[in-house]
Structures are given as structure tokens and as C-alpha cells.
Amino acid sequence: MPAATIKDVAREAGVSVASVSRALNGGRGVTAETGQRILEAAQRLRYVPHAAARMLITRRTNTVGALLPDLYGEFFSELIRGIDLAARSRGLHLLVSSSHDDAEAAAAALRAMQGRVDGLLLMSPHADADFLRQNLPQNLPTVLINTRLSGADYCALSVDNDGGARLMVEHLLSLGRRRIVFIQGPPGNRDATQRELGYRESLASHAPDSPMMMLRGDFSEESGYRAGHQVLAMRPRPDAVFAANDMMAIGCLAALREAGLRIPQDIAVGGFDDVPMARYVTPPLTTIQVHIAELGGQAMALLGEQLDHPDDVRAGSRRRVDAELVVRASSAAPSG
Amino acid sequence: MPAATIKDVAREAGVSVASVSRALNGGRGVTAETGQRILEAAQRLRYVPHAAARMLITRRTNTVGALLPDLYGEFFSELIRGIDLAARSRGLHLLVSSSHDDAEAAAAALRAMQGRVDGLLLMSPHADADFLRQNLPQNLPTVLINTRLSGADYCALSVDNDGGARLMVEHLLSLGRRRIVFIQGPPGNRDATQRELGYRESLASHAPDSPMMMLRGDFSEESGYRAGHQVLAMRPRPDAVFAANDMMAIGCLAALREAGLRIPQDIAVGGFDDVPMARYVTPPLTTIQVHIAELGGQAMALLGEQLDHPDDVRAGSRRRVDAELVVRASSAAPSG
DNA sequence: GGCGCCAACGTAAACGTTTTCATGGCCGAT
DNA sequence: ATCGGCCATGAAAACGTTTACGTTGGCGCC
């Protein structure tokens, strides 16, 4: 038995399809009584409007697409959660596509979403200006998440890496640390470079006499571990380490502890991200927390605005979500 | 400028819309030469078929829906990753909806997907037989993930909790441990009860003389910590703890270490899940790894089969994905 | 009581595609 | 040379909605 169509409902209720449509969409232009009759008929037949037909005529899909890079772990899950929640509260569906390794795959994914979505949430390392101009349908509302794009052509939203890093540096300075070494992330990584920038700025403005010290890293725990060994070899020894992400901080922590250093007495350690593990390492890691779900939610909200007011095209609008300092024992000895 | 339609392509190429359609879908019934001309025209116009129109006539959406419970963390992200990958390789889109707290919300989400998807991947604590009969469109191919459903009406797929737990117990027994205490998960939780079952079975069959010992827990780290204290009070003391998940194992580990016990010499500890943190606690945690992405991928594969052969309705087919023992220092002292 | 207006309702067009069916041309076989 | 058949192509129907427009009826007002 094929699914009931609007015609079936019309016949069942003894009215025309137009009236059914009217009754089901807000019920204007229809008597309360007729509306009731139609509603009952629809219910009886378990009528569900055919989404495709509606999309075709309406030119709205009530769906937004989320294009994400291949992303393991918590960040992705939190982001999706925030997006999904915000989307649902606006009555929008969510079409996701992750794991596109190269620009070509991303472009394909983008093309495949053509016409299936009213708007796009895009987070991709390949999303430079050229790529977008090339692959993005011109009039599709889009919000960029955490892209390295500086042009004013698109709406964008990102985490406040810079501000977060400054928070950390200021925290360490407030503890009296003066020799703060920074462990860098992968070269070219936007988050990493922004965090480094925050470190530089903050140090320059708050403690111009303190030396700037950088060590190479690539966000991996191993690279943090290696950096830890380099820290141990530095003379005079730094009194604080700020790693561009938690995993490196954790690796560094291990190296320092193995060498017999006391943390935080001999050297303080700070990370970035507040991964779940951060509170479980010994000592628990001071870090910068980013409300990732909120990042997703805000991106969705921004997109929602664009959908509601397509004319009012505030393209270049940018927003950032705040980062927050979480102090744990790796920087401040337990009180008492 | 509105997007190009098939008519525009037809005009541009000097053929009828029918030929364009044929050329673009496999190109059968069309001369190689005309096909080429049409393809070029389409490319020139940046033509992308209107998804809705195609759905309407074809009655295929090329989309599958994934309904997931509100799920934080790694499990969700891995599952989605596996699903997405498998879906993409079949040319299917993925419509997700998570975070439905109660059965009503889940039902609403389900209804909203009506007609937008060709098949459904469903993982919901509310998915009992009644719920499904009530809310599931009758002819929609569906694969259940990790549900507590025993009926043979639907395709289902789950992780081998039982087998995984047996692996752990056998491992502990092989180390000579004979007093193995089990920390339970939340009552009513399917995974938890299956893991407990595996513990019971394995102990009964391989070491009938060993006592069965249970402690209450709820999957949280704190509950594991509390259970750890209870372990410390037991006389004679157990020589191994098997927690129903990693977080409890980690909490328990902390309690035991605080009390001065050496792990694994005095007491071995095992968990379940292999969360990323498991390898970073001290000592690294022996645990059972489940390939969650594979769970998602297999579910998608199962669904794909159903989509390809809708007639060949092997409804009750069940599958499980294997669990794997990962031995780390919390159960086996580092060799050498 | 007639006129006009408004609200309720029906008719039909439109959305963009696929697919069935008809048509014509070409080629091979007789 | 004619006929049959096949293949490329085109015309048009169909998918299930929404919506512009037309029609009807009732009602108020002159």
C-alpha cells in the first residue's frame, strides 16, 4: 500500500487538495470546521507530506548541510551536537558529510549537497578563497567555521584561540612565572598559529622582559614528549610550559615527571582544549576550555539568521566563541 | 540568475530534455557524440540536477537517516565517522538527528525523517518493539544498532559485549587471578548487563571455583572510585577488578593506588571500551577495544543490502562486531 | 432588493526530473 | 529494392505539492 497523498486526504475529507494544503500549513483561508475535518482525515490516513514534492515547489529543503574535515574525537562530536541541537530547535534537518581528505573530495561533497540544503556550515582546511569561489554555489547562505579565511565575503565563526592563549599566559605570569616556553602546533595550522600569536602578544605586552621561547611540535603527544626533553635541556630552565594543545602538554608532562621535576613547583604546565583526559593526568592539567558545542550552536544561529533574512546579507560578519581558563594542579599547587 | 535546469542544458545542446536525462544517467540510449555534446553543455552551464525533482519522480532520496540518542564523546563521533564513510562510498547522503531525550522526541525526529530517507539507522534507548511498530514507517529499511530488542522483526547489529567480557575474564584467569570482582554498570543498561553476563558465563565455565563478586556502579568515574574503596575493604582481597567500562576502571585505579596498592602486582585492573584516556592513565589500562567505526560501517553495509534488495527481506538478521583484548600494564607487568 | 465585497473554496499551473511511448531513420537481410 | 527491426531521439505524462487565480456564496450597505 503506497503512502497516502494529499489527494487521498482531500477525498477523505471531501474537499480539494488546495484546502488540505491550506489547512495543514497554518490553516489560513479555511474554516475552523473544515480545518478540523481535514486534520482528522489526515490523521486517519497517517498522511505525511511528501518532502520532495514540497521542496520542489517551495524551493526550500528545510535542511542545512555540515561539511567537516576528517576529524576524530571529541571536537567533532561536540560540534555536531551543538549544531544538531540548534538546527532542531529551528525545525531544520541536518545533512552531514565528514572525512574528506583532500580538496577534491571536499569539492565533490559540496557539489553533492547542491540543492539538498538551504544553507551550509563549512569547516574545512581546504576552504581557501579560491576553493570557495570555485565550488560554492553563489547564493547559498554559508557560515565558515574556523577557517583561515580573512576575506570579507563570507560569514565566519571561530574560537578565540588568540584570547585563550593570552588568558593562559597571563595566568602563568600571575603565578610569578617569567620564563614561559611555548610548544608550537603543526606549521600552517590555523589554531596553532593563532595560539602562538596570543602567546607572543601577551608576553610582549605584559612581560616585555620575559624571553620568548618556542619549541616545535605537531599536536601529537609524542611531539610534546620530545619537546619536554628539550625543555629539560634548556638553561636556565623555563619555569612554565604552554603547549598549543592538551595532548602535547600531556606528553610534555610525562617527560618532565620522568626526569624527576615536580609540577607545578619546579615547572608549571598549561595546555589548550580541555580534552576529557586533561583532568585525569597527574597532576591534572591547567588548560583553556572552549565550548565547542556552543561553537556549533552559534554557527547554526548565524546561518539561521541568513536563512531568515536572505536579503539582509551581512556577509563579512565574524564572531568568535570565548575560551575560558581552567586552572588545575599542573599550574597551581592545591591550596592548603 | 536562477540555477540552470535540464531544459537549459537541452536547449544549449540542441536536444530534448529526455536525451539530456539519458546522457547524464549512464548515457545509454544516446550516441557517444550527442552524449559528449550534452555533457559539455551541462558543464558549461554548471548544471546540477535538482535533487528534489529527482526524488519526487524517482522515489529515491539517496539518503539514509541516522537517529542517535544524546551521546557525548568518542563513541558517537566514531560511529558517525564509520557510518558516513560507508554511506559516502555507496553514494548515499547522511541525515543525522541526535539528542532526543525522551521517546516523544525520538518519535518526532523519526516522523520528521519520513520521506526524506530511503533507510534508517536507529540507535535509541527508547526503541522497544512497541515504539517501533508505532513510529516506524512500515516499509522503511531499518537497521537497529545496539538496541535491547530481541524480536526478529528488524535487522540489528551490536557490539559483542558478551564475547568481549569473556575475553577479559579469560585473560585475567590466564594470569593466575582467581578472585575477580566485577563492577557493574547502570541497571537496565544493555551493554552493562551483557558485559556482566559475559563475566558470569566465563567465570562459571572456566573457573567454577572462583567466587562471583559484584559491585555497584553507574559507568561514572566516581562510581568506580567508590567501588575501588569497597574493593579495598573486601577480605580476602580480590586479585583483579573488571569494570564494565573504562571510566569506572580509571576511578577504581585511582582509589587502589591511593591506598598504596601496586598494580598489577597486588591487583590487576581491566576495563571496557578502550577510551583514548585508557592508555594514558598510570598504569595504562588493560581493556576491551570495540571498533566503533566498524560498527557504524557494518550497520551501513547491512542497510545498503536492504536498499539494494528490498524484496529479499532478511528481517531478523543479526550481526555483531568483534571486541578485542588490549593488554596494557594494569594487568600485565611490563616484560623484562 | 440589488450591488459589491470578502472569505472560503476549487481549478489548474508550475516546480524539474525520469520514463514510457511514439516516431523516424538507418542498416541488414531477403 | 523492399521490408523488418533496432536504435537514437522527441513528446508528453507523471510524481505530490503549493499557490495564483477564478468562482461561488453570503452578507452588509445603499
Q: Is B95 on the interface with A (CB under 8 A)?
A: yes
Distance CA B84, CA B103 (A): 25
Residue type, A113: M
- Rounded to whole angstroms, the distance from the CA of residue A44 to the C1' of nucleotide D11 is 40
Backbone angles phi, psi at A19, to 5 degrees: -65, -40
- Rounded to whole angstroms, the distance from the CA of residue B37 to the C1' of nucleotide C29 is 34
Residue among A212, A298, A219 nearest A251 (CA): A219
- The residue whose grid cell reads 602538554 is A249
For residue A121, how many C-alpha atoms fall within 13 Å in the half-sphere facing its CB? 35
3-state secondary structure of B120: strand
- Rounded to whole angstroms, the distance from the CA of residue B276 to the C1' of nucleotide D20 is 60
β pairing state of A323-326 and A287-290: antiparallel
Which pLDDT band holds residue A313 (cuts at 50, 70, 90)? low
- Taking CA atoms, B46 is separated from A122, B39, B50, B242, B245, in Å, by 21, 10, 12, 59, 52
Rg (CA), chain B: 26
Q: Which residues pair with B270 in a beta bridge?
A: B242, B286
Give the mean pLDDT of chain A. Answer: 89
Residue type, B193: T
pLDDT at A217: 96
Backbone angles phi, psi at B35, to 5 degrees: -55, -45
Position with higher pLDDT, B138 vs A25: A25
- What is the share, in percent, of chain A residues with pLDDT greater than 70? 94
Rg (CA), chain A: 26
Burial class (CB in 10 A: 0-12, 13-18, 19+), B186: middle
Report the footprint of strand D: residues with C-beta closer than 7 angstroms: A 2-3, 5-7, 17-18, 20-22, 24-25, 47-50, 53-54, 56-58; B 14-19, 22, 28-31, 33-35, 53, 56-57
Distance CA A298, CA A304 (A): 9
Please give the DSSP secondary-structure letter assigned to residue B145: E
Residue among A139, A101, A119, A46 nearest B115 (CA): A46
Q: Which residue of B has its CA nearest to A56?
A: B52
State the nearest Cα–Cα gap between A53 and chain B, in angstroms: 6
Q: Are A94 and B97 in contact (CB under 8 A)?
A: yes
Distance CA A67, CA B182 (A): 42
* DSSP H helix total and E strand total for chain A: 12, 12
Residue among A125, A128, A131, A51 nearest A95 (CA): A51
**pLDDT tens track for A93-132:** 999 998 777 888 888 888 888 889 999 999 877 777 777 7
Q: Is B2 on the interface with A (CB under 8 A)?
A: no
Backbone angles phi, psi at A307, to 5 degrees: -70, -40
Q: Which CATH superfamily is domain B161-290 in?
A: Response regulator (3.40.50.2300)
- Taking CA atoms, A307 is separated from A82, A92, A146, B94, B219, in Å, by 18, 11, 21, 22, 41
pLDDT at A76: 84
**Nucleotides of chain C touched by protein CB (<7 A):** 7-12, 14-20
pLDDT at A336: 41
pLDDT at A251 over 80: yes
Q: Provide DSSP, A298-323.
A: HHHHHHHHHHH-SSS--TT-EEEE-E
Q: Which residues of B44-65 are buried (b: 16+ CB within 10 A; e: fewer)?
A: ebebbbbbbbbbbeeeebbbbb
CB contact under 8 A, B96 and A84: yes
Q: Is the CB of B10 under 7 A from strand C?
A: no
**pLDDT tens track for B296-308:** 999 999 999 888 8
Q: Which residues of A are less than 8 Å from B78 in CB distance?
A: 72
CB contact under 8 A, B115 and A52: yes
β pairing state of A63-67 and A93-97: parallel
Among the four given CATH numbers 3.40.50.300, 3.40.50.2300, 3.20.20.70, 3.40.980.10, the one describing domain B63-159+293-321: 3.40.50.2300
Q: Which residues pair with B323 in a beta bridge?
A: B290
Position with higher pLDDT, B316 vs B304: B304
Please give the DSSP secondary-structure letter assigned to residue B188: T
Region(s) of chain B under CATH 3.40.50.2300: 63-159+293-321, 161-290
Residues in chain B: 336
Q: Is the CB of B55 under 7 A from strand C?
A: no
Q: Are A143 and A122 in contact (CB under 8 A)?
A: yes
Which pLDDT band holds residue A290 (cuts at 50, 70, 90)? very high
Q: Which three cell numbers stand for residue A322?
A: 570565548
3-state secondary structure of A251: helix
Q: Is B80 on the interface with A (CB under 8 A)?
A: yes
Q: Which residue of A has its CA nearest to B276?
A: A277
**pLDDT tens track for B186-244:** 998 888 999 999 999 999 999 999 999 999 999 999 999 999 999 999 999 999 999 99
Average pLDDT on B49-70 reads 91
**Nucleotides of chain D touched by protein CB (<7 A):** 7-12, 14-20
Q: What angle do CA B322, B328, B329 make, to 5 degrees?
A: 155
- Rounded to whole angstroms, the distance from the CA of residue B31 to the C1' of nucleotide C26 is 14
Which nucleotide lies nearest residue A29, CA to C1'? C8
The CATH code for residues B6-49 is 1.10.260.40
Q: Is B220 on the interface with A (CB under 8 A)?
A: no
pLDDT at B336: 41
pLDDT at B328: 96
Q: Which residues of A are less than 8 Å from B281 in CB distance?
A: 280
